[in-house]
Amino acid sequence: MDCLFCSIVAGKIPSSRVYEDDVCYAFRDIHPQAPVHILVIPKEHICCANAVTSENSATVAKIFEVIPVIAAEQGIDKSGYRVLTNCGDDACQTVKHLHFHILGGRKLSEEMA
């Protein structure tokens, strides 16, 4: 499998890590859409939200436990932030590895859902 995010987790491609544990890895987006733009990914390859099952849903739950920790460390927990995932081509999922964007650090557009 040739997955960009799996290569990042494996250390084959450098990233700006902000968090890591045995389940997930978080790093700064290389094309930030907000002052704080962090991607949180499972270390296990899951292609997108459509592939979340009862066997791997604990991984997603762990990610959602970690997201507020990262938001607090980045200083955006009080002002607010957005968590977003894309699933499939029409949603513009460019890397076929489940990932959650944490966006914050400024007032976000109401146009962006």
72-to-6, 8, 23, 95 alpha-carbon distances in Å: 26, 24, 19, 26
Does the active-site annotation cover 101? no
Active-site pick, 37, 97, 99, 101: 99
* Residues labelled catalytic: 99
